[in-house]
Structure 1
Amino acid sequence: MERPLAWRPVTVIAVLLFGVLLALSPGYGYHRDELYFRVLSEHPGWGYVDQPSLTPMLARAGIAVFGDTVTGIRVLPALSIALLVVLVALIARELDGGTAAQVLAAAGTATGVYSLIAGHSLLTLSFDLPLWAAAILFLLRALLREQPRWWLAAGAVIGLATYNKHLIALLVLGLAAGLLIAGPRRLLASPWLWAGALLAVVLALPNLLYQVTNGWPQLSMAAALSEDKGAELRVLFVPMQLILFGPVVSVIGAFGFVRLWRDRRVRALAIAYPVAAALTLISGGRFDYTAGLILLLFAAGCVSAAKAARVRLAGGFLAANAVAGPLIALPLIPVAALAATPVPAINEVARESVGWPQFTTAVSGVRDALPPAERERAVVVTGSYGEHGALAKAGMPRVYSGHNQLWDYGPPPADATVAILVNIGPGGLALFDSCEERTRVDNGAGVENEEQGLPIHLCKGPKQPWSTMWPMWRHFS
């Protein structure tokens, strides 16, 4: 018999989480990815060189409905993670978890570090987590119930998820490997499973066609990321698996792995986690690529805790987890004191959300100091999409960048004989007759991020036309 949904406590947790995230949304300011998505949202398309289109289009929707503010762009991420809380509780219920297991799963998810980060800022992760959770929920229903039509629901969500990230392929590959290794292999002959797979492909087809017709830019992007940080990410992979949602979630998740492994009906999903982890390590991918499967293991572990009458013990440890998680993930520490804490080293989102007003003021100061004739011909070229996005949000004209998708929106006009270069290395400076450093960025908080101490150069006399040298400015990271 199907367990009832503990809708009251789960709804309370989800609503409280949404309220907290919304209340704290202005803290520290925009993250660099949000500034980038804001720019991409002004260029609607089926895809971009570094990502599919869903997150930028949701940024566009958030701005249109809630306003072009830091809070406006963060309403949808907060709603998305509130939905994630409900979905993880439903996963626990699907695994035969009663009220206690569902509440543990909901509370642990709501207070996990990565959940809070994803709910606080608009990131691809913000929507990837609930998409994975929905796909896993429907896969569980297909595996556990005598209702194979759930393969169609899973296929529909997987197809939709490709418009946010292609990482949902890790879930598909992990499940396929699990079915081949541990079964039940008879499912591989199910017409419903293959109908779900076909539906996923059909829904993802426009996304795939964009990749084909544009030379598979995401493969180029993935290769660049692996070359740039692959070794570092491999070293960090195992420790980050333990702290993505907090160490308590990981420990409970280990019990969840055992629970899934012992149930032959869902053993394939237990195998999916090590398969996805291995593929991530081999490719040099980010450590959060397995986050969706960690939440599955955690939900299963909450069921084990409840059935073993360890609810109070698990709840106590999750309460401790809930103290550290928000301090790391949310803007609770005053920005003036942030640099004196370990938070900037742990939480990249917090680190890269500090100092944008000071950055734009520094660049504006260099531009405003130019004589009127030079100012009219000046352009600003940045090395990072966050810098480009911050200047665009501030209303600065004639801003360009060679970073990722932004390269396609260049080159600067031919009359641009004066260039303010931000985060551009010696190779870029050498393309001008003269360059001089005019100032350096100080974020005012002493937080060591990408912009802190960044030199701003004023360069004159490009040695070649912009249209000729623009290909040299392109870079992926």
Structure 2
Amino acid sequence: MQAVVLTAFSGRYGFHRDELYFVASGHRPDWGYVDNPPLTPWLARASTAVFGETPTGLRVAATLLGMATVVVAALLAREFGGGRGVQLFTAVVTALSSYVLVVSHMLATNSADLLLWCLIAWFGLRLLRTGDGRWWLAVGAAAGLGLVNKWLVLLLLSGLGVGVLAAGPRRVFRTWWLAAGIAVAVVLAAPVVLWQASHGWPMLTVAGGISEDDGGENRLLFVPMQLVLLSPVLVPVWVAGLVRPWRDPAVRWARALAIAYPVVCLELLVVGGKPYYAVPLLLPLVALGAEPVLRWLRRGRATRRVLTGAAAAVCLVVSVLIGLPVVPAPALNGALLAMNKEPGEQVGWPEFAGNVAGAWARIPATERDTAVILAANYGQAGAIEHYGPERGLPRPYSPHMSYADWGPPPDRLVGPVLLVGRFVPGSPAERVLTGCRAAGVHHNADGVDNDEEGVRFSLCTLTEPWSTAWPLLREYY
């Protein structure tokens, strides 16, 4: 059912700006990119190669990752001794939670990250429960793949490590299988780490910029967002998961998980990380808390069950509205975009490329062979790259993120520069591009207030060769 629903809605609206970037990255396979390791772009390349370079074709990968996450969540519930009813409950609430719906609908680094965090937790918990050191190999393999997708997995590993040191069973560290697991992770992650090292650790530069620009807001919203990102109705369930290992002797071995979550949250608060970074660790806690919550519901009066069901129904409706494109695009403005801006970033990209084509047509035909389209961000560049050829547009360039590595334009292109968007006031771009005059403005037909609504196009003059101008234009944030 999950696959059917996700597939039914996967083609509505259109590509997200990040998806356009992943598609472009997948066409340039490498061991790394400025702002993320290569796993998600590789998945984008594989999914579009098999199912077509459309939103539906790309999102097959996200759907499969979401389905696998639900299965692993049910397996986690079984690991804690839950029967079929508990496993089914865990699977259903996982599939219908807001965060899982969002990352299962559109392909993002979080789509794979969610599954990999759950796998590491499952393998690690089997290691703690059984004491069989061979599970270190599975933990190492999942951790290595996690590092090939997103380095946030290091927070999970550190949190679980602190948990085991604090609450045990510490005997799992006294085995040569630990070294073997570390070796597996190192082998898998080594090409990605070496790529980052050889390129000056750009991901750390990007992470530092995120912390500097958004760290204060992230810290302020961190705790409230923990309560709503998965679903408010699931807060009592994962809180029960935090408490259960300290009350139930049968799952005492899982105390490390209950410690890991606050440790990871504290780490994110210190570095100013985004609130959703900690959400994948809530799913194992939901699996851990499912059994006592269901027992509490069964023992309660009918009124308790009715009220709980009503609250769950309301949260389900909200989750679907937030996570899936179920409403017409014009209806997104207002509360829905305030709760989740990502659907808005999936609207209007074909029109955007069409408006760029209209601005491009203002360049005299005799000058277009040496003209350049310069986009201010990777979403704009990705849209022009994907939709532009059928509209007669040449390859776009952008100094943003990995698009900067795929430039600069050849020095022979000395004609007009069609600037899409704006660079930061006072940046070197104002010296490199001069004499800018208006060439158009983008408005999407649905009137959705997204990041590209109202973006202006300008025709500018390049003052120095691209080879010397390009380093001055580079943008990491």
Structure 2 Cα separation of the partners of residues 364 and 276 of structure 1: 47
1:106-255 maps to which residues of 2 (within 5 A)? 106-255=91-240
Q: Runs of 5+ in structure 1 lacking a partner? A: 1-15
Answer yes or no: is 1:257 the counterpart of 2:242: yes
Secondary structure at the counterpart of residue 437 of structure 1? strand
Would the aligned equivalents of 2:40 and 2:108 in 1 still touch at CA under 8 Å?
A: yes
Q: Amino acid of the residue matched to residue 288 of structure 2?
A: A
Structure 1 Cα separation of the partners of residues 17 and 265 of structure 2: 27
Answer yes or no: is 1:401 the counterpart of 2:419: no
Answer yes or no: is 1:318 the counterpart of 2:312: yes
Answer yes or no: is 1:390 the counterpart of 2:383: yes
280-289 or 260-269, larger mean C-alpha shift: 260-269
Structure 2 Cα separation of the partners of residues 335 and 250 of structure 1: 30
Give how far 1:430 is off: 4.0
What's 2:259 paired with? 271
Flag the 1:445–1:134 CA change in 2: closer, same or farther, 3 A: same
Give how far 1:245 is off: 1.3
Give how far 1:185 is off: 2.4
Flag the 1:231–1:357 CA change in 2: closer, same or farther, 3 A: same
Secondary structure at the counterpart of residue 163 of structure 1? helix
Give how far 1:306 is off: 2.9
Answer yes or no: is 1:371 the counterpart of 2:356: no
Answer yes or no: is 1:345 the counterpart of 2:338: yes
What's 2:464 paired with? 464
Identity, in percent, stands at: 44
Give how far 1:316 is off: 5.6
Answer yes or no: is 1:410 the counterpart of 2:407: yes
What's 2:321 paired with? 327
Q: Amino acid of the residue matched to residue 192 of structure 1?
A: W
What's 1:424 paired with? 422
What's 1:361 paired with? 354
280-289 or 205-214, larger mean C-alpha shift: 205-214
What's 2:302 paired with? none
Q: Amino acid of the residue matched to residue 451 of structure 1?
A: E
What's 2:271 paired with? 283
Give how far 1:64 is off: 0.7
Q: Amino acid of the residue matched to residue 436 of structure 2?
A: C
Secondary structure at the counterpart of residue 476 of structure 2? coil
Flag the 1:205–1:379 CA change in 2: closer, same or farther, 3 A: same
Q: Amino acid of the residue matched to residue 33 of structure 2?
A: Y
Q: Amino acid of the residue matched to residue 424 of structure 1?
A: R
What's 1:304 paired with? 292
Give how far 1:164 is off: 0.8
What's 1:6 paired with? none
Secondary structure at the counterpart of residue 48 of structure 1? coil
Structure 1 Cα separation of the partners of residues 95 and 469 of structure 2: 49
Would the aligned equivalents of 2:97 and 2:316 in 1 still touch at CA under 8 Å?
A: yes
Secondary structure at the counterpart of residue 178 of structure 1? helix
CA offsets 1:212-260 (integer angstroms, 9 cap, x no match): 2222221111111111211121122111111111111222111111113
Structure 2 Cα separation of the partners of residues 22 and 175 of structure 1: 35
Q: Runs of 5+ in structure 2 lacking a partner? A: 300-304
Structure 1 Cα separation of the partners of residues 298 and 277 of structure 2: 30
Secondary structure at the counterpart of residue 240 of structure 1? helix
Q: Amino acid of the residue matched to residue 397 of structure 2?
A: Y
Secondary structure at the counterpart of residue 419 of structure 2? strand
Q: Amino acid of the residue matched to residue 38 of structure 2?
A: S
What's 1:5 paired with? none
Structure 1 Cα separation of the partners of residues 433 and 379 of structure 2: 24
Structure 2 Cα separation of the partners of residues 470 and 47 of structure 1: 21
Give how far 1:140 is off: 1.0
1:440-451 maps to which residues of 2 (within 5 A)? 440-451=441-452
Structure 2 Cα separation of the partners of residues 216 and 438 of structure 1: 37
Structure 2 Cα separation of the partners of residues 388 and 430 of structure 1: 22
Would the aligned equivalents of 2:133 and 2:172 in 1 still touch at CA under 8 Å?
A: no
Would the aligned equivalents of 1:132 and 1:292 in 2 still touch at CA under 8 Å?
A: yes
Secondary structure at the counterpart of residue 140 of structure 2? helix
Would the aligned equivalents of 1:344 and 1:447 in 2 still touch at CA under 8 Å?
A: no
What's 1:12 paired with? none
Flag the 1:197–1:315 CA change in 2: closer, same or farther, 3 A: farther
CA offsets 1:109-151 (integer angstroms, 9 cap, x no match): 1111111111111111111111111111111111112433222
Q: Amino acid of the residue matched to residue 273 of structure 1?
A: Y
Would the aligned equivalents of 1:104 and 1:315 in 2 still touch at CA under 8 Å?
A: no
TM superposition score normalised by structure 2:
0.93
What's 1:3 paired with? none
Flag the 1:309–1:250 CA change in 2: closer, same or farther, 3 A: closer
TM superposition score normalised by structure 1:
0.93
Structure 2 Cα separation of the partners of residues 433 and 188 of structure 1: 62
Q: Amino acid of the residue matched to residue 289 of structure 1?
A: Y
Structure 2 Cα separation of the partners of residues 308 and 90 of structure 1: 22
101-110 or 255-264, larger mean C-alpha shift: 255-264
Answer yes or no: is 1:476 the counterpart of 2:476: yes
Structure 1 Cα separation of the partners of residues 386 and 341 of structure 2: 21
Flag the 1:435–1:149 CA change in 2: closer, same or farther, 3 A: same
Would the aligned equivalents of 1:47 and 1:207 in 2 still touch at CA under 8 Å?
A: yes
Structure 2 Cα separation of the partners of residues 46 and 240 of structure 1: 33
Give how far 1:315 is off: 5.7
409-418 or 359-368, larger mean C-alpha shift: 409-418
CA offsets 1:176-228 (integer angstroms, 9 cap, x no match): 11122222223222333333233222222222222222222211111111112
Secondary structure at the counterpart of residue 399 of structure 1? coil
Q: How many residues align?
A: 460
Flag the 1:158–1:291 CA change in 2: closer, same or farther, 3 A: same
